[in-house]
Amino acid sequence: MHIPVLQKEVINYLDPKANENFIDCTVDGGGHTTAILERIGEKGKILGIDADPVLLKELENKLKEQKLDKQVLLICDNFSNLKEIVKQARFKKVDGILFDLGFSSWHLEESGRGFTFLRNEPLDMRYNPASALSAEKLLNFWSESEIERILRDFGEEKFAREIAVEIVKERKVSPLKTTFQLIRVLKRAIPFRFQRQKIHFATRTFQAIRIAVNDELESLRKGLSQGLEVLNPDGRMVVISFHSLEDRIVKNFFKDRENVLKIITKKPISPQIEEIKINPRSRSSKLRAAIKI
């Protein structure tokens, strides 16, 4: 199951109080939302957003079982549409907003959508299966230069050029359809000595494709901007990122808006060793927080 990352720190920096309203922009399994509910009491409300309809349905059932469904309004959408979501939901008086940018353990272990390179699955990688662009479409129809660009920009992959060339070679013979087929391509493109390092040699490629398929970085920019608009004065924004590309966007967003935001994390907050031992996937997480002036 998905373990909420930096949960104590999230509560500390969001500082939820009785009767306040919050937006969880990536509600996922509801871990952070449940912790916030404990603080805001029966009159507080949460707007929970997630792009994945399967995860949202599971959470809806869980909240009904716990009799918490009256306090949480769940919306299946991308937080890049935050302003419109808030308007349509008539969700007013927003005291805090949380962005947890990590994708769910469920996506890796149970979705079967090709998020992991450890199992042979279809090359999908969409959070919302209704989205037009899948990993398979990207790899088979985008140009060599476009594939090279996303591998370099979104994966910081030093062998972006070589990988893009091999992908195009492969698809001329047979369309790329599975994760293991992509792994075989990567093995041909990446020099053997670079396949034996601490980080798995497919990590950067899979990250880059996932980011491109779900337009994650542009969605983050839009979500942060719209979040600031809907947030009440004295409201708090907390963002958990999982790689340098995301963290850089958050850092610059806060810094560029110091006239309207008071940054309350001088440096990003990282998980304690105890948390990393329990949840190794939390090790790369960084939390930044600010208050709207």
Domain ranges across the chain: 7-106+216-292, 111-214
Condensed to tens digits (0 to 9), the pLDDT of residues 172-221 reads: 999 999 999 999 999 999 999 999 888 899 999 999 999 999 999 999 99
Condensed to tens digits (0 to 9), the pLDDT of residues 248-280 reads: 999 999 999 999 999 999 999 999 999 989 888
Residue that wins the pLDDT comparison between 19 and 197: 19
The continuous run of DSSP H or E covering 97 comes out as: strand 94-100
How far is Cα 24 from Cα 47, in angstroms, rounded to an integer?
A: 6
Check whether 73 has a pLDDT greater than 70: yes
How far is Cα 228 from Cα 222, in angstroms, rounded to an integer?
A: 10
Q: What are phi and psi of 216, to 5 degrees?
A: -65, -40
Contact 44, 19 (CB under 8 A): yes
Q: What are phi and psi of 215, to 5 degrees?
A: 50, 50
Contact 71, 24 (CB under 8 A): no
Residue 161 is predicted with a pLDDT of: 98
Check whether 165 has a pLDDT greater than 90: yes
CATH numeric code, 7-106+216-292: 3.40.50.150
Instruction: Name the percent of the chain lying above pLDDT 70.
Output: 99
Over 28-39, what HEC string results?
A: CCCHHHHHHHHH
The answer to whether the predicted template modeling score (pTM) of the entire model surpasses 0.85 is: yes
Residue 49 is predicted with a pLDDT of: 97
DSSP letter at 10 equals H
Contact 240, 18 (CB under 8 A): no
CATH numeric code, 111-214: 1.10.150.170
Check whether 114 has a pLDDT greater than 90: yes
Cβ-Cβ contacts under 8 Å for 289 (sequence gap 6 or more): 13, 14, 236, 237, 238, 239, 263, 264, 265, 269
Same fold, 7-106+216-292 and 111-214: no
